[in-house]
A and B are shown apart, each in its own frame.
Chain A
Amino acid sequence: MERNLMKGNEALAEAAIRAGCKCFFGYPITPQTELSAYMAKRMAKAGGVFLQAESEVAAINMVLGAASAGVRAMTSSSSPGISLKSEGISYIAASDLPCVIINVQRGGPGLGGIQPSQADYLQATKGLGHGDFQVLVYAPSSVQEMINLLTKAFDMADEFRMPAMILADGLLGQMMEPVEFPEAKTHQIPKPWATNGTGMKRKHNIINSLYLTPEELEKTVLDRYKRYEVLENEHTEAETYLTEDAEILVAAYGATARVAKSAVIKAREAGVKAGLIRPITLWPFPKKEIVKASENAKHILVTEMNMGQMVDDVKLAVECRVPVSFFGRTGGMVPKPSEILDKILELGGAE
């Protein structure tokens, strides 16, 4: 298979087109803008639609419209823009519509900065809008994995009729790596619920999130949570590295996991039994994978590019049976392998 050197943002765009994305609605924001630029160049040739919206708010609502029409639709942004999209994401989730949203995270809060960050973890996994709902959240840690997970995100979004997010960061979006595009294994399923015209052959379809009767509204939420339960039981993903005998288990996702892996290797060389667990699905959270990886752990070290947003999830996963510490950098700072190594060695009792 042909290997190409590609920038993360552009790889995401190409992967989306290959996954059958028919409509992309974008809005410029650093550090994800190359994605829109790539779509602007390629989408029309690929038989799809690229449109630069007037705002992030409009872009996500255009996604709502295109998803209602039954086509695969996507938008991308970076942290402040995702906050603007959260209204639309709540409506999309409440209307049981599938779509893919990319967040190439940058430092926050507020306008923050434009350097890589993971400070939207809590937003993505716990509160991407008002109301009771979840979004599938995938955290790739390489350009190749962004490609693979994007295809999967479209498939899972369709199957479970919910939004899926690729939670990347400025580091992954901006870096170039050799990638290959696997033969598209995406499978598109029929969407009999789509509002694409009755053709006078069926009763009208309605895409809606309004239920003024509380009993009805509660039922729609409960139905959705049944699907979420299936996801939590059957569709969690994590990668493990040297965890079988690990006494110090490092938990990290996305770009930080790559830095953490270097630190784990160095720690092993220094005689500390370190291992790495890398959640790939941030929601559903890979609890059982973490429990298994921490069987021999004396300590868990969570490392992120934020102030410790995943720590509580890890503590809950192991039900506080193993002490959990945190090391992170924030504001657009990327942790150095040596910084994580020092922390591992400290926890591992090395002099």
Chain B
Amino acid sequence: MAVVFEKPHSLCDVSMHYCPGCTHGIVHRLICEVIDEMGIEGDTIGICPVGCSVMAYDYFNCDMIEAPHGRAPAVATGVKRALPDKYVFTYQGDGDLAAIGTCETVHSATRGENIVIIFINNTIYGMTGGQMAPTTLPGQVTQTTPFGRDTSVAGFPIRVCEMLSTLDGVALAQRVSVDSVPNIKTAKKAIRKAFENQKEKRGFSIVEVLSTCPTNWGLDPIEALERLRKDMIPYFPLGVYKDITAKEDK
């Protein structure tokens, strides 16, 4: 019988601990499809963060490292500098990347560290049970903003791609979403471009993926996708904020 659809080889054949309706599974799969298509599983080292994807080392078939909270870009720097011919990617949530790890994120970007960062933005700390993240929207209710995020007290969300796009070391800064089939296709293309950039030694690539957290948002999976479209995309517009290959194409 002809095989028409299968799990990517680089995605471990195990059940994941993610909640029903969470979009981590989609993003894991997209990364693994890219790794398989580029034939780089044996040369790839992935770095997972502290957060919901802390156990992603059990889901990716390539070599994996579990980094301290926020430090994945520094750990990735260490691996990449030691093994410049290998592919190195990090997979980080918003609390990890844009709060505790902001320094490592910004500096690995400005160094033009030749790595890929997959950044999951779901506007909340998932693993610890739904606290305010640096990307939590104004007015959003979380465990630590029980009356909604009051920007006069808790400040404003960080738009990571916009911020990083100002840095010369960045090759690609693109925000995508996995709420619909067309958007999932775009997301995969962005992830592919990020890994191609690494292959061509173009520098730092970040793909920000707008994602859902039905459990901590208190929504069912469908409602969660609707919230992503209705509330998140207007605040975090999808698009390419920087792409140094775009100039080359012209």
Report A's interface with B, CB cutoff 8 A.
Answer: 22-23, 25, 49, 51, 53-55, 57-59, 61-71, 73, 87-88, 91, 95, 195-201, 204-210
Question: A51: which B residues are within 8 A, CB to CB?
Answer: 77, 81
Please indicate the chain B residues that have their CB under 8 angstroms from the CB of A206 in the complex.
57-58, 63-66
| A210-B55 in contact (CB<8A) | yes
| Cβ-defined partner of A61 (8 Å) among B44, B55, B61, B74 | B74
Cα(A205)–Cα(B44), bound, Å = 11
Within residues 15 to 55 of chain B, which ones have a CB less than 8 A from any CB in chain A? Answer: 41-45, 47, 54-55
CA distance A230 to B55 in the complex (A): 32
A53 to B57, CA, bound (A): 26
Q: Report if A58-B63 is in contact (Cβ < 8 Å); known contacts: A22-B82, A23-B82, A195-B79.
A: no
A71→B82 contact, CB < 8 A: yes
Contact partners of B62 in chain A: CB under 8 A: 197-198, 204
If the complex has contacts A54-B104, A198-B41, are A61 and B81 also in contact, measured as CB distance less than 8 A? no
* Inter-chain contact A88/B68, CB cutoff 8 Å: yes
Size of the chain B interface, CB-CB below 8 angstroms = 35
In Å, the complex CA distance between A67 and B75 comes to 10
Q: Which residues of B contact A201 (CB under 8 A)?
A: 42
Can you name 22 A-B residue pairings with CB atoms under 8 Å?
A: A55-B103, A58-B77, A58-B103, A61-B68, A61-B78, A64-B74, A65-B65, A65-B75, A66-B78, A68-B65, A69-B83, A87-B68, A91-B68, A95-B66, A195-B63, A197-B45, A197-B63, A197-B86, A198-B61, A200-B42, A207-B65, A207-B66
Q: When the two chains form their complex, are residues A68 and B103 in contact, meaning their CB atoms are under 8 A apart?
A: no
In whole angstroms, what is the CA distance A108 to B64 when docked? 38
On chain B, the residues within 8 Å of A87 by CB distance are 68
Known: A23-B82, A49-B81. A210 touches B66 (CB 8 A): yes
The 5 closest A-B pairs by CB, nearest first: A65-B78, A61-B74, A195-B63, A54-B107, A62-B78
In the complex, are the beta carbons of A69 and B74 less than 8 A apart?
no
The verdict on A195 contacting B78 (CB below 8 Å), with A57-B71, A206-B57 known, is no
Measured CB to CB, the residues of B under 8 A from A are 41-45, 47, 54-55, 57-58, 60-68, 71, 74-83, 86, 103-104, 106-107
A196:B71 contact, CB within 8 angstroms? no
Are B71 and A66 in contact, CB atoms less than 8 angstroms apart? no
Once the chains bind, are B77 and A65 in contact (CB under 8 Å)? yes
A68 near B78: Cβ-Cβ < 8 Å: yes
A166 to B123 alpha-carbon distance, docked (Å): 43
A63 near B78 (CB under 8 angstroms)? yes
Other 12 A-B pairs with CB < 8 A, given A58-B104, A65-B80: A54-B103, A54-B104, A58-B107, A59-B74, A65-B74, A65-B79, A66-B78, A197-B62, A198-B62, A204-B60, A205-B63, A207-B64
Nearest-neighbor residue (CB-CB) of A99 within chain B: B78
Closest B residue to A22 by CB, please name it: B82
| CB neighbours of A69 from chain B (8 A) | 45, 78-79, 82-83, 86
| Beta-carbon contact of B83 and A197 below 8 Å | yes
In the complex, residue of chain B having the shortest beta-carbon distance to the beta carbon of A199: B42
| A195 and B82 contact, Cβ closer than 8 Å, known pairs A58-B103, A58-B107, A208-B57 | no
B68: nearest chain-A partner, CB-CB? A91
* Nearest-CB residue, chain A, relative to B83: A69
Q: What is the distance, in angstroms, from B38's C-beta to the closest C-beta of chain A? A: 13
Find chain B residues with CB under 8 A from A210 CB.
54-55, 66
